Structure 1
Amino acid sequence: MTGDSLGESSRSVTHPHHHHSSSENVPDNGKGKGKSKSNGNGNGNGNGETHPVVDFTAGVIAGAAGLVVGQPFDVVKVRYQTPQYAGKYKSTFSALGSILKEEKVRGLFKGVTSPMINGVVFTSYSFFMKMQLSPESNDEPSLGQIFLAGAGSGVVAATLTSPIELIKIREQSAPPHVNTSTIGVLKHIIKTDGFRGLFRGYQATALRDLAYGPYFFTYEAMLLLFKHLKKPPLPDNHRKHEGHTLIDEAEMELSSGLSWAELMTAGGIAGVTAWLATFPIDVFKTRIQSAPWSSSSVSSHGSTTTSPLTGSSTITTARTSVAVAKPTLWKVASTAVREEGWRVMFAGLGPTLIR
């Protein structure tokens, strides 16, 4: 997945097989099972479990690394999904060149999202896994349990992802000649729509971030497949799980006998699968968060202007006013498909998969 919550954040988190803490395997009870012992570097909590702060920090580092590589492609994705840019770019790389020419390097990094999103995913994944498994269990979590823990972590992360991506999308969809800032967009949203305006598109964001479920499910399923294809097949890892955090899982993967190429292939396939499962929701979420919406009112004899900074409408009224309709997921989705065809559900998929 990507760094935007899947994205985006998003969308996205990368499975942390690049992160593992030092540990040593010591005999457990003479039955051949090993137990990870903290090496005294402060990463443990005294009983072999990874401290939540370590989980969170690892997620933040992974998210920051993903942002540096993937942010330009995220900008292109949002441009493809925003109606006012329809037809402007011929391809992903022509879009990158056009943005670089018109907006300089800064344009490729508009709306950089917070890497804290990955930290929330790492921490909440561990929480949901512990809810399903006994602390004394030596069993590998099932694919179903992995799916539920991943999906739950995505919904929790959406609380942070939704307002961050709203600001990001407002910045990324602004016209090239408009200089935006995160603080400026934030102030405008609160001034125009109040604090609740920061959570426009939360429902769509939560539905999209359920993709962490199929992501982790597919990743683990691919590892099982690669182990089975070995000649002879690799034995199951009988090492005791200690906390069921993503860092614990990463340590076990590194000692599983699979190569880095196999681990990275599993991560790539998992990312593509997760995006394909929920990408239409991401398209409609972008449209919801970039569409004009104001808590003001409109008159039959009024005029409407749209702010180039945020896309919010400013209404000048003269007579009787009525409430402005707010975009809903169903309304945005049905209108887009009816007017632009089913292909609109995959607008921006190319740069997303490259990222």
Structure 2
Amino acid sequence: MSADFWAGYVSGAAGILIGNPLDLVKTRLQAGRASPTPDAAATTSPQPQSFRQQFDRAGTLVKGSTAPILGYGALNAILFVTYNRSLTLLGDSPALPTSFANIWCAGAAGGLASFVISAPTELIKCRAQVSTDQHASSWKIARDVWRKEGIRGLYYGGGITSVRDAVGYGFYFWSYEWSKQTMTSPDDTDRQTAMKVLLCGGLAGVVTWASIFPLDVIKTRVQTQGLHAPVYAESERETLLQQHSRVKTLSTFEVAKEAYRLEGARVFFRGLGICSVRAFVVNAVQWAVYEWMMRLLRQS
């Protein structure tokens, strides 16, 4: 395997380990509704709203992290390999690219390539984080989806995920290279370079999520809709069984339309604050680990 593959893999896994607790808060804020209506209650359970309430027990800190740790390592590896190869095909140098248009296009190509892993990983992660079942591990959710719907079920919400990834990673690499070329100079010491890489990586993460956050909210709601069934008295279950079997699964557009109708435009930015904090920390670490590993692997 190439150096950028392993550097991408390790940096992706490191980012998830650090950012999972904040990612859990972001996912629950996106998936939950502020004040569920009787109809909405059938598809979404109320989620705790305060920061402290999100962590109902110690295990919550790593809830849903198994799939991302394994998946995002591979995703990051594919992302960086595709980005570097695409940039080379466009006639630019991955080490020091000169065209920001080429950088954005190569990043978008990397995002589309990573969709193969990001779609099922995101679905399993979001359902694990939103689930109220304390025993709903990533493996159990993946197994249940596979048994009920096969490979198609694992890629549910894949369309909106691919658009989000292409747009997001285009801005991801564009903003990182722009800030890096603006801030760094050949005269910087190793310490200065390391600090600037952390800052540039953090800024790239914030810019990326700000550019695609409404798409991510829609994606989360598409992938978690219908996850929780309402609780009825024993006498009501038989009467309502047939009705529940005909519950309609909403399309991406219908999910977005319904969210806007119930909660207005602000719903598409719910959780952006906590996501920005997470994005800065995670991507600062990811880029620092990536740059460090690339230097290490090239030397060896």
TM range (shorter): 0.7 to 0.9
- The 3 A distance-change label for structure 1 pair 157 and 198 is same
- The 3 A distance-change label for structure 1 pair 275 and 86 is farther
Superposed, which structure 2 residues align to 1:1-355 within 5 Å? 52-83=1-32, 84=44, 88-90=48-50, 92=51, 94-95=52-53, 98-99=54-55, 102-104=56-58, 106-112=59-65, 113=68, 114=71, 115-133=73-91, 140-175=97-132, 177-210=133-166, 211-227=168-184, 234=185, 259-292=193-226, 305=229, 316-317=241-242, 324-355=247-278
CA contact (8 A) 2:22 2:274 kept: yes
Deviation at 1:306, TM superposition (A): 6.1
Deviation at 1:119, TM superposition (A): 1.0
- The 3 A distance-change label for structure 1 pair 254 and 57 is farther
The higher relative CO (CA closer than 8 Å, separation ≥ 6) is in 2
- The 3 A distance-change label for structure 1 pair 217 and 139 is closer
The match for 1:245 is: none
CA contact (8 A) 2:92 2:99 kept: no
Count of residues paired in the alignment: 253
Deviation at 1:80, TM superposition (A): 0.7
Counterpart of 1:341, as a letter, is: G
| TM-align CA RMSD | 3.1
Of 165-174 and 261-270, deviating more is: 261-270
Counterpart of 1:122, as a letter, is: F
Counterpart of 1:118, as a letter, is: N
- In the alignment, the residues of structure 1 paired with residue 201 and residue 96 of structure 2 have an alpha-carbon distance, to the nearest angstrom, of 23
Identity of aligned residues (%): 31
Consecutive unaligned residues in structure 2, runs of 5 or more: 33-43, 232-239, 279-300
Q: Which has the larger radius of gyration?
A: 1
Deviations 1:187-214 (A, max 9, x none): 2112222321111111111111121111
TM-score computed with the length of structure 1 as normaliser: 0.64
- The 3 A distance-change label for structure 1 pair 322 and 68 is closer
- In the alignment, the residues of structure 1 paired with residue 95 and residue 4 of structure 2 have an alpha-carbon distance, to the nearest angstrom, of 21
Consecutive unaligned residues in structure 1, runs of 5 or more: 1-51, 228-233, 236-252, 294-303, 308-314
Counterpart of 1:200, as a letter, is: Y
TM-score computed with the length of structure 2 as normaliser: 0.75
Higher strand share: 1
